[in-house]
Structure 1
Amino acid sequence: MPQNFLITAASGNIGRELLPLLQPLEGARVILPTSNASRLEKVLPPPIDGSAEFIIEEGSIRDPSWLQQQLVKYEVDTVFLCLTGQDELFTTMNILDCLARSKVVKHLVYISACVDFTTPKGVQELLSHCSAGHILVKIITEQKLLYGNFPYTWTILRPTLFFSNDLRTKRSMLGANVYSEPLGEMGVSRVAPSDIALAVKNSMVNNEKWANKHVCVGTKQIYKGSEIAELWSKAIGKEIKMLPITEEGFESFEKRIVPFTGPEQGRELRLMVESFASRKLEMTSEEYKDQVELLGKEPECYETWIQKVGASWQE
């Protein structure tokens, strides 16, 4: 039976990978709310016969009345929710309520983070190591989905650290031989945005199978900061050093990123990378097995991605 999807952040890192995966779904309608229709139009896949119908609606998902009207208008049964920003908590809670009030939505796919937000132990461990608000907000959201008695099911995806974050350090690596995000030596799993998009698509299409489940997405192997620097050194043919996990290193990272993100988000990202200095970002073997089942394949290889990107930089 054809589905009606509503996709948030369709022009973002995950959204750009997701739209081509939805295109072959004949008879499906894909509703794309956006505050900038002209920008979104540029990333839409070219139309083909027998493909899903993409419908752009210009407006703000932060306006609950407007969003609820779109859900009802298009009889949306499945929603992909990917949010970040200073008002993430207000917006997320309003959207969860809108989905319930619409009386048409049957399933939600929500992007969280690779942490156990459902047990006291998981929450306490996170709170003791992390002060980044865009991560801590996931605690409230996941708890609300668990205990909110909503009339729709959900799948919570927990991606690890994006491959594409490394692209932010290109200028620093090529110019100063420094990987400019101090990731430390505890180790982090990495994830390709394309794998997150595939997990979104599969959990939306097969929503009954993945109803009310949490799935981590990322590499089974975790990478220390020194290992990441070594991989980039080999890929671009010059020795790369990781920024040290010192006050000076974190300060340097924050100062470098603030001109692009603004001071509030710059500090947010600093708080996130500081947390990697004191805790591992990884998944269990059972969580990895669930991911492979959802994706229908092994996740993309981080080392292979670095090699390809490094080769393109040298060209």
Structure 2
Amino acid sequence: MTILVTGATGRVGRHVVDQLVKRGAAVRVLTRDAAKTSFPAGVEVAQGDLLDIDALRAAFTGIRTLFLLNAVTGDEFTQALIALNIARESGVDRVVYLSVFAADRAVNVPHFAVKFGAERMIEQMGFNATILRPSYFIDNEQMIKDVILNHGVYPMPIGDKGIAMVDARDIAEVAAIELIRRDQAQGDLPVETINLVGPDTLTGSDVAAIWSDVLGRPISYGGDDPSGFEQSMATFMPKWTAYEMCLMAERYVSDGMIPEEGDVQRLIGILGRPLHSYRDFASALASSVGSRSI
């Protein structure tokens, strides 16, 4: 059967599409503007978004398995609820949902609470589902790279508990594997939750030390003050988004994002290879911009 991918143009979704195509799956994507998007040959494109009921009904026609990714927006929960209702109405019974690490605990953070609510809806509605709970994305560091490279400071307030940052490529490959496993299953499979983490649990000081080593010059950690980080983020993003990031950073500082026993080995077993590391990312970024000469 054809697998429907939402969020197909983002950091995770585009890799999910590539991984599904690589594995021979039939893929349909839902996108707002098909004219501005390029997908691998053979991928079917449905135009619309998660608040467009007619477009959703058309996109879900002939679909059994769904990859549901909701962007962090003010109406994220509405998007999730509508998508799941239309999915069930259309006969979709297999779902891989991209949630977030510790969604059931960090419920004061808006998008964590939203994703936990969607998890509960998926279970209550009886979907055969895999819930993917990724930790902090390594790829998020793209938005602070200039501060690291040009000012010698790692500014993300992630604290000293430790965060097992995960690469978007690892998230996407696990998602594709689970989508195909669900799609090809002859009967119902139990709901499963998979923590998506990186191979190393790193503190703010650990990350600064990696950058110092990779760049060959001192990089300092900016400290654990989420409020200062909020003020900085608010200069280039909506204030509500910056505030949400502050709340999330407070959780990094107070709790970290620490894998449960067996999480890393479980992912290595699913992927059949090592996980991408933070050092891999830092080294690649430094090499791409010629950072040693900065």
Whether TM exceeds 0.5 here: the answer is yes
Would you say the 8 A contact 1:160–1:281 is kept in 2? Answer: yes
Q: 1:16 to 1:165 in 2, by over 3 A?
A: same
1:145 — aligned with what?
122
Q: Deviations over 1:162-198 (max 9, x none)?
A: 1111111111112211112111111101101000010
Amino acid at match of 2:44: I
Would you say the 8 A contact 2:109–2:247 is kept in 1? Answer: yes
Q: Deviations over 1:214-252 (max 9, x none)?
A: 111112431000000110111122211222113xxx333
Cα shift at 1:210: 6.5
1:22 — aligned with what?
20
Amino acid at match of 1:168: M
User: Aligned pair 1:66/2:55, yes or no?
Assistant: yes
1:222 — aligned with what?
201
2:30 — aligned with what?
33
User: Aligned pair 1:80/2:67, yes or no?
Assistant: yes
Amino acid at match of 1:202: I
Q: Deviations over 1:70-129 (max 9, x none)?
A: 212xx01111111121111111111111111002x1310000111163xxxxx4xx34xx
1:35 and 1:288 map into 2 onto residues whose CA distance is 35
Would you say the 8 A contact 2:97–2:129 is kept in 1? Answer: yes
1:287 — aligned with what?
263
Cα shift at 1:259: 3.6
Aligned residues: 286
Cα shift at 1:287: 2.8
Cα shift at 1:290: 2.7
2:143 to 158, 168, 178: 168
Q: Deviations over 1:19-61 (max 9, x none)?
A: 22122344x43111111223322xx23x3xxxxx211222122
Secondary structure, counterpart of 2:248 in structure 1: helix
2:131 — aligned with what?
156
Q: What is the RMSD of the two structures over their aligned residues, measured on CA atoms?
A: 1.9
Matches within 5 A, 1:1-315: 3-26=1-24, 28-41=25-38, 44-45=39-40, 47=41, 53-72=42-61, 75-83=62-70, 84-103=72-91, 105-115=92-102, 117=104, 123=105, 126-127=106-107, 131-148=108-125, 150=126, 152-207=127-182, 208=185, 211-246=190-225, 250-314=226-290
Amino acid at match of 2:110: G
Amino acid at match of 1:190: M
Moved more, 207-216 or 133-142: 207-216
Secondary structure, counterpart of 1:214 in structure 2: strand
Amino acid at match of 2:202: Y
1:39 and 1:132 map into 2 onto residues whose CA distance is 33
Amino acid at match of 2:270: L
TM-score by length of 2: 0.90
2:58 and 2:124 map into 1 onto residues whose CA distance is 26
Cα shift at 1:288: 2.8
Q: Which runs of no fewer than 5 residues in structure 1 stay unpaired?
A: 48-52, 118-122
Q: Which runs of no fewer than 5 residues in structure 2 stay unpaired?
A: none
| Aligned sequence identity (%) | 23
1:120 — aligned with what?
none
